[in-house]
Amino acid sequence: MSRIVDPTHADPVADPHADPALRPRRFSEYVGQQRILDNLRVYVRAALKRGGALDHVLLSGPPGLGKTSLAYILAEELGVDVKTTSGPTIERKGDLAALLSSLEERQVLFIDEIHRLPRATEEVLYPAMEDYEIDVILGQGPGAQSVKLPLAPFTLVGATTRSGLLSAPLRARFGIHCTFDFYSTDDLQKIIERSARRLGVVITPDGCRELAKRSRGTPRIANRLLRRVRDFAEVEGDGTVDKPLASEALSRLDIDDRGLDTMDRRILSTIAVKFSGGPVGLDTLSAAIGESRDTIEDTYEPYLIQQGLLNRTPRGRVVTVRGLSHLGLPTPTDTQERLL
C-alpha cells in the first residue's frame, strides 16, 4: 500500500467528510506527545537541510496513541511518499527484499507491529538499515553466490506496542527512539474539539471534558466515543453533545467515570474476587475471563497499571488498594478498621 503525500493538499478540517480517520496531517495539527514532537521537528529540519534521508525511527507505546498518524506526518513533513506494511504480512525474505528494492530515495517505509516480523526475515533489514544494501543469493547449491544489491537511502519507521519483543540487533539500528505516553485530559479535549469540528458535531466544553475524562488517555478511543455519543445526541437529543447527554450515553456504553469498560472491570474483579486480589498468572487470568493473553497485556493492562489499579509482579497480577476501592470492595484498611 502506498500513499503519495501532497504538501499542497488543502486542510481537511474545512471539510467534515474529508478524512474519516480524523488523522492529523502535519506537526502543527498533532496534539500531545510534545517532547517527541519537538525533537522530531529538529530531526526533520536537519534531514531537509542536508538533503538526505531521515534516520530510522522507532515508535513504541500502547495502541491508539498516534504512532501511525505520526509516521504519515513524518512523510508529509519530509515531502516524500510513504509505503506501509505490517510485520505479520511479511512472511518471506524475498517479500521484504522486493519491498526495500522498490523504495525511492528518501522515501519512508512504515512497518506496523514490527516486533512480529519473523526473525529470519528481520535479518534482511540489518544491512538495509545500516548500509543501504541487501544480500541477494544468485544460483543454487555449491555454485550459489551472494551479491550485494544497493538500495536508495530511505527511512524505516517501525511501530510497536511491545518494544521488549524487538531483538537487540534490530533495536540498535534505529537512530531515533520515541516512546509514547497516555494523553492528558486537556490534550484529549483539544483532540475531541478538533474531531467534532471535522464531523460537524455540536459539542459543549463540559460535554467535551466529560468525553476526554473517560477516554483512557487514548485519542483513538476518544474519537470512537465521540462518534457513539453523537449517535445518542442525534436520536435522543437535539443534536448537541453536552455533559448530561455525554454522561448518560457513556453510562449506557458501560464506560465509568475513569474510562474503564466492562472488560477492565472484569479483569479487576476476577483478580480481586476469584483470586483474592492476586497474584495470578496471565495464562490463568486469560482462561478465567475468556480473553487472549496478548489482548490483556497490550490493550487493557497498560492503562490499568498507569492508573494505579493493577500491578505486575514476578508472581503475577495483583489488584491494588486503589483498584479495590474503585470496584467498591473492602480494602485492607477497611478490614482493619472493622476489626478495631
Give tens-digit pLDDT for 295-313. Answer: 898 889 989 998 999 999 9
CB 137 within 8 A of CB 144: yes
Distance CA 256, CA 240 (A): 21
Residue 1 has pLDDT above 60, yes or no: no
Grid cell 503525500 — which residue?
Answer: 5
Mean pLDDT score of the chain? 86
CB 174 within 8 A of CB 57: yes
Query: What pLDDT shows up at residue 134?
Result: 86
Query: What pLDDT shows up at residue 163?
Result: 85
Chain centroid to CA 166: 16
Distance CA 285, CA 302 (A): 16
Query: Domains plus CATH for the chain?
Result: 2-179 (3.40.50.300), 185-252 (1.10.8.60), 262-339 (1.10.10.10)
Residue 337 has pLDDT above 90, yes or no: no
Per-residue pLDDT of 136-157, as tens digits, reads 765 565 656 677 888 999 999 9
Distance CA 152, CA 137 (A): 20
For the residues 252-269, what does the mean pLDDT come to?
92
Give the CA dihedral 16, 22, 25, 28, nearest 10 degrees: 90
Share of the chain above pLDDT 90, in %: 65
Query: What pLDDT shows up at residue 175?
Result: 94
For the residues 190-212, what does the mean pLDDT come to?
93
Range of lowest pLDDT (275-284, 293-302, 324-333)? 324-333
- Opening angle at CA 218, ends 270 and 213, nearest 5: 80
For the residues 40-62, what does the mean pLDDT come to?
94
Identify the residue with better confidence: 229 or 140.
Answer: 229
For the residues 258-263, what does the mean pLDDT come to?
91
Total residues found in the chain within this entry: 340
Residue 186 has pLDDT above 60, yes or no: yes
Query: What pLDDT shows up at residue 7?
Result: 32
Residue 14 has pLDDT above 50, yes or no: no
Per-residue pLDDT of 83-115, as tens digits, reads 999 998 988 888 888 899 999 999 999 999 999
Query: What pLDDT shows up at residue 136?
Result: 72
Query: What pLDDT shows up at residue 331?
Result: 80
Range of lowest pLDDT (34-38, 132-136, 223-227)? 132-136
CB 282 within 8 A of CB 297: yes
Grid cell 511491545 — which residue?
Answer: 162
Query: What pLDDT shows up at residue 145?
Result: 66
**Which residue numbers are catalytic?**
67-68, 112, 161, 220
CB 320 within 8 A of CB 311: yes
